[in-house]
């Protein structure tokens, strides 16, 4: 099930979602879809958990713009952090259960390039998902992450099975306050697979694929967060997140 709309369809190879079959998007017996568009403030009763240090002066709020955009701040003390995390661990990378993840995100630098920031899927989402002093994502978790560290604008990607982590720079700098579409296609099409192939995308362009050993992986939350290096409050903007996984 595929088509190309000459008016609204992307150029060939120009969309991360071209890797996802339409039947997965439309038939709930084939796959399940979790999509948040942030038309209202995140529902922290049923859908999300906020984990953060107190004291941020910035106001967490839906922005006055089209399409639904939410902005969230961390306090500006050194290593103070703030995360928005899905309450449920709705996803697990398993053999024959391909997954498509995309988040439209902007990181707003409080001071030039000092933000620590990241987002992705993790079984260990919570405080210190971003390690202190610009050390990137946690040293042990199951899932994958996009992230940047203080004193750099470079975006990175990694896969993680507990403490076995593979990844590196995407050779792409983010621009403070400017949205980009970050996607990951976790490909495993056979129930006998022992490895999932995880391909990161930025604005529809594929980066280097990473192999992720499936054995031992646990269920995962969606997470997004920022951490300060002590020079300023940091913040993230999120337009949407959409995750599709074969049932």
Write down the domain spans for the chain: 35-246
Angle at CA of residue 84, ends 83 and 87, nearest 5°: 125
Q: Are 35 and 245 in contact (CB under 8 A)?
A: no
**Can you tell me the distance from the alpha carbon of 217 to that of 142, in angstroms, rounded to the nearest whole number?**
6
CB-based contacts of 245: which residues, under 8 Å, 6+ apart?
31, 32, 91, 97, 98, 99, 100
Q: ∠ CA 144-147-151 to the nearest 5 degrees?
A: 155
Q: Give the model's pLDDT for residue 112.
A: 96
Name 121's Cβ contacts closer than 8 Å, sequence gap at least 6: 91, 101, 143, 144, 145, 220, 221, 222, 223, 243
Q: Where are the alpha helices (DSSP H) in the chain?
A: 22-26
Q: Which pLDDT belongs to residue 155?
A: 98
Token pair for 71? 């902005």
Residue appearing with tokens 């899932």: 143
Is residue 187 exposed (0-12), middle (13-18) or buried (19+ Cβ within 10 Å)? Answer: middle
pLDDT of residue 12: 72
What is residue 204's three-state secondary structure? coil
For residues 246 and 94, what is the distance between their CA atoms, to the nearest angstrom?
A: 10
* Closest by Cα among 223, 236, 224, 230 to 80: 230
pLDDT value of position 15: 84
pLDDT in tens, the chain (247 residues): 556 677 777 777 778 898 899 899 999 999 999 999 999 999 999 999 999 999 999 999 999 999 999 999 999 999 999 999 999 999 999 999 999 999 999 999 999 999 999 999 999 999 999 999 999 999 999 999 999 999 999 999 999 999 999 999 999 999 999 999 999 999 999 999 999 999 999 999 999 999 999 999 999 999 999 999 999 999 999 999 999 999 9
Using CA atoms, how far apart are residues 29 and 64, in angstroms rounded to an integer?
37
**Looking up tokens 């000459």, which residue turns up?**
6
Strand-pairing partners, residue 127, are none
Q: Which residues contact 235 (CB under 8 A, 6 or more apart)?
A: 58, 71, 72, 73, 74, 107, 108, 110, 226
Secondary-structure class of domain 35-246 per CATH: mainly beta
Nearest alpha carbon to residue 143 among 223, 205, 47, 209:
223
């Amino acid at each position: 099930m595929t088509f190309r709309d000459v008016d609204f369809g992307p150029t060939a190879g120009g969309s991360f979602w071209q890797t996802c079959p339409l039947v997965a998007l439309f038939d709930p017996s084939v796959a399940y879809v979790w999509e948040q568009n942030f038309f209202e403030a995140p529902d922290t009763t049923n859908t999300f958990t906020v984990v953060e240090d107190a004291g941020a002066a910035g106001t967490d709020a839906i922005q006055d713009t089209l399409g639904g955009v939410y902005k969230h701040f961390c306090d500006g003390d050194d290593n103070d952090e703030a995360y928005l995390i899905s309450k449920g661990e709705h996803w697990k990378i398993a053999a024959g259960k391909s997954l498509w993840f995309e988040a439209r995100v902007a990181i707003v630098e409080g001071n030039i390039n000092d933000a620590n920031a990241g987002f992705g899927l993790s079984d260990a989402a919570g405080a210190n998902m971003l390690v202190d002093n610009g050390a990137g994502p946690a040293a042990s978790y199951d899932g994958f992450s996009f992230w940047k560290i203080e004193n750099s604008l470079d975006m990175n990607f990694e896969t993680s099975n507990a403490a076995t982590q593979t990844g590196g720079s995407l050779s792409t700098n983010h621009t403070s306050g400017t949205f980009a579409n970050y996607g990951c296609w976790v490909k495993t099409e056979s129930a006998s697979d022992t490895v999932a192939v995880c391909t990161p995308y930025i604005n529809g362009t594929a980066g280097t694929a990473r192999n992720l050993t499936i054995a031992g992986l646990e269920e995962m939350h969606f997470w997004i967060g920022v951490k300060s290096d002590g020079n300023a409050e940091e913040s993230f903007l999120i337009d949407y997140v959409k995750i599709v996984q074969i049932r």
